[in-house]
Chain A
Amino acid sequence: MSTRIQYIKELEKLNQDVLDMSSEISNAIEMMSEALQSLDASLSVKIMDGDDVIDHMERSIEKYCIDLVIKEAPVASDWRKIASIMRIVADLERIADHCSDIAGYVIKLSKESKVEPPIQFNDMIKIMKSMLSDTINAFITLDTALAVDVVDRDEFVDQLFNAALDEISLYIKAVPDSIEQYTSYILISKYIERMADHAVNVAKWIPYIASGEYKL
């Protein structure tokens, strides 16, 4: 057997594809955060349109993995990486979906009278974004410690989410007319909280890719 040069190149391309997909998603989160602050409907439409591109990236990475498995019968760390990527891209794709979901509510909010948004959003989005970018770094460098740190950070997002809900219910009691808007904000908080959960799912694969350690 000779060194499988072509195969190794294909594995490198797979890494690059995952990086490209995550940077596309980071952009979407960036836009979502901006649209949410300024209740910008046209930016929201742009986010929703962009989701198709990310869906397509997910499908093509999946297909690439399937082809590699069939052609190359990967084993050991190669196999662990490919099997994990097939799961990881599904979580990444869900993160992008939630950006679109939030964009949909931003459009709705932009047509209603403006109310004070919960103050926790900025921090929630900031932490969630850091979780996503760190989990991708940890994936590329196989940094298990960083992955564990991402998992731990989810706690803060959860706390902020609960605080946001408390704040929203106070607003609703104070200004019952704003219930429509605040219902949207409740859902938006939930989506941000879920986005962090998906980043955690991705991070949990990293120890397995790095060492084969698989927790049931």
Chain B
Amino acid sequence: MDTTKNIKFNVQSLNLFYGDFQALKDISFTIYENEITALIGPSGCGKSTFLKTLNRMNDLEPNVTLHGSIQLDSQDINKDMDAIELRKRVSMVFQQPNPFPKSVYENVAYGPRINGIRKKAQLDEIVEHSLRQAAIWEEVKDRLHKSALGLSGGQQQRLCIARTLALEPEVILMDEPTSALDPISTMKIEDLASELKKNYTIVIVTHNMQQASRISDRTAFFLLGNLVEYDTTIKLFSQPSDKKTEEYITGRFG
């Protein structure tokens, strides 16, 4: 454990079942504030399932049972917190960009408006600020009132990140956010993530090993529902301590 950093999430003995199928097996680890934590592992190993437990998206699915505890800033998210409240603080960016079929402006203003912000000047400010933070302002400032569906995939993904930022979360969960994007857009999202970690805590699922090693501070390797190894990214990619991690990252199986 790293005592020089603040712990954002503290996960202890987490077990998750879909019916009888155990998708997460006794997972314990800590996610640190203002860091990027990458989750890697072969398809079906439980990365998305784990990510979803962090903002209780699994609540929405029937027949999910969960044991163990997840604390966000020392508060148990399943016991002491309302799911809606939690999702305001911990929000998710998905693999496929999913902008609303509305204007660029409305996509970003939607959340703050629901949260009760009505003044146009204030909304304008939030929209611009969020789009700037998501590194897409220059590209969309002249088409704010055109449909978001006219943007490229990479722009849509950054717009979705801006939409998330407008809600001022503390943690951003990203599930393969660049797997549908070209290399340039991918690079932009990666730069953006590195920039955002100054103010946010980011947890990212990726199948791109180089992406994990480029942008994350720590990496967790999952296999068949187990957390096999969790360490600083430099250590995990240069000197993994588990044979299975070594085999996976060097392409001996997958």
Binding site for B on A (CB under 8 A): 1-4, 7-8, 73-80, 211-212
Contact B210 A73 (CB under 8 A): yes
13 inter-chain pairs at a CB distance below 8 angstroms, sorted by A residue, are: A1-B254, A3-B253, A3-B254, A4-B251, A4-B252, A8-B252, A73-B209, A73-B210, A75-B237, A75-B250, A76-B237, A76-B245, A79-B238
| Any A CB within 8 A of the CB of B42 | yes
Closest to A79 in B: B238
List the B side residues contacting A75 at CB < 8 Å: 209, 213, 237-238, 249-250
Is B207 on the interface with A (CB-CB < 8 A)? yes
Per the bound structure, the CA–CA distance linking A73 and B207 in Å amounts to: 15
Give 1 or 0 for each of B221-254: 1 = CB within 8 Å of chain A CB.
Answer: 0000000000000000111100001100111111
How many whole Å from B71's CB to the nearest CB in chain A? 32
Q: Which residue of A lies closest to B208 (CB)?
A: A1
CA distance A80 to B238 in the complex (A): 7
Measured CB to CB, the nearest residue on chain B to A213 is B239
Given A1-B207, A8-B252, A80-B238, 10 more pairs with CB closer than 8 A: A1-B251, A4-B251, A73-B210, A75-B237, A75-B249, A75-B250, A76-B245, A79-B238, A80-B239, A212-B239
* Minimum distance in angstroms from B7 CB to a CB of chain A: 27
- Complex Cα distance, B240 from A75, in Å, reads 10
Complex: chain B residue closest to A211, CB-CB: B239
Of the candidates A2, A74, A211, A212, which one forms a contact with B250 in the assembled complex, judged by CB atoms under 8 Å apart?
Answer: A74
Of residues B213, B239, B254, which shows the largest number of chain A Cβ atoms within 10 Å of its Cβ?
B239
Smallest Cβ-Cβ distance to A212: which chain B residue? B239
Please give me the residue from chain A that is nearest to B213 by CB atom: A75
Residue-wise, chain B 4-43 has the 8 Å CB interface mask toward A (1 for contact) of: 0000000000000000000000000000000000000010
A2 to B97, CA, bound (A): 27
- Which of B's residues lie within 8 Å of A, judged by CB? 42, 207, 209-210, 213, 237-240, 245-246, 249-254
Instruction: Select which of A1, A2, A4, A76 is within 8 A of B240 by beta carbon.
Output: A76
Contact residues in B for A7 (Cβ distance below 8 Å): 251
User: Known: A73-B210, A75-B213, A76-B246. Contact between A3 and B237, CB under 8 A?
Assistant: no
Q: Which residues of A sit under 8 angstroms from B254, Cβ to Cβ?
A: 1-3
A residues near B210, Cβ cutoff 8 Å: 73
Assess the A3–B251 pair: CB atoms within 8 A: yes
Bound form: Cα–Cα A78–B240 in Å: 12
Q: Which of chain B's residues have a CB closer than 8 A to the CB of A211?
A: 239
List the 3 closest A-B pairs by CB distance, nearest first: A212-B239, A4-B251, A1-B254
When chains A and B are docked, how far (Å) is the Cα of A2 from the Cα of B207?
Answer: 12
* Cβ A1 vs Cβ B42 within 8 A: yes
With A1-B42, A1-B207: A76-B238 Cβ-Cβ less than 8 Å: yes
With the chains together, A3 CA to B246 CA distance in Å? 13
B237 to chain A: which residues have CB within 8 Å? 75-76
Return B60 CB to nearest CB of chain A, in Å. Answer: 30
Which residues of chain B come closer than 8 Å to A3, judged between CB atoms? 251-254
Enumerate chain A residues within 8 angstroms of B240, measured Cβ to Cβ. Answer: 76
B230 to chain A, nearest CB (A): 16
Roughly how many angstroms separate A190 CA and B213 CA in the complex, as a whole number? 45
A216–chain B nearest beta-carbon distance, Å: 15
- Listed residue (B42, B250, B252) with the most chain A CB atoms within 10 angstroms of its CB: B250
Are A76 and B252 neighbours in the complex by a CB distance under 8 Å? no
Which residues of the other chain, B, contact A77 by a CB distance below 8 angstroms? 246, 250
A90 to B240, CA, bound (A): 28
Q: With the chains together, A79 CA to B213 CA distance in Å? A: 13
Max chain B C-beta neighbours (<10 A), residue from A8, A77, A211: A77
Complex Cα distance A80/B245, Å?
15
Q: Which of A1, A2, A4, A76 contacts B239 (CB 8 A)?
A: A76
Compute how far the CA of A22 lies from the CA of B213 in the bound complex, rounded to whole angstroms: 34
Query: Given A1-B42, A212-B238, does the pair A76, B253 have CB atoms closer than 8 Å?
Result: no
In Å, the complex CA distance between A74 and B213 comes to 12
Whole-angstrom CA separation of A79 from B239 in the bound complex: 10
Collect the chain A residues with CB atoms within 8 Å of residue B252's CB. Answer: 3-4, 8
Chain B proximity of A83: nearest CB distance (Å): 10
In angstroms, Cα B248 to Cα A75, docked, is 10
Partner among B42, B207, B249 whose Cβ is within 8 Å of the Cβ of A76: B249
